[in-house]
Amino acid sequence: MAFTSDTEIERTTRRMIDRTLPKEAWTHEAHFAGALWLVRADFEAARRDMPSMIRAYNESVGGVNSDTEGYHETITQASLRAAWHMLDRAAPDTPLHLVLRELMASELGQSGWLMAYWSKPVLFSVEARRSWVEPDLQPLPF
């Protein structure tokens, strides 16, 4: 789904939060759309609240949150930082859907972007799934 308005971003994020968003709509781009919307409102609140939102959403669509699947703390927190970075670079009045478009066109928008910073064994470890783990290949650029 290519988001063409901030209204679409807000609607999708609110549907994820209230657990009415269909599972197939919670795409890589939708994750970043939600991250941007929440981070623009309050970065610290997003960092604090997004984990429980994602866990609840996963369970609502039949998923589980375990040591091998579902919610992943390091990926979530890295993605929130990436969203904050893109918002910080944009003018304050830039529409979110345009920030999202730029993010998705950048290295950060590629589904494997985290592999430039974390090795696979570290990123997919139980420790990284449960809590923040610093990158082991190179520091994040933001």
Residue-wise pLDDT for 75-117, tens only, equals 999 999 999 999 999 999 999 999 999 999 999 999 999 999 9
Helical H runs in 18-133?
28-41, 43-60, 73-89, 96-105, 120-123, 126-130
Q: What angle do CA 110, 88, 27 make, to 5 degrees?
A: 30
pLDDT in tens, 13-65: 999 999 999 999 999 999 999 999 999 999 999 999 999 999 999 999 999 99
The amino acid that residue 25 corresponds to is A
In this structure, what DSSP letter does residue 121 have? H
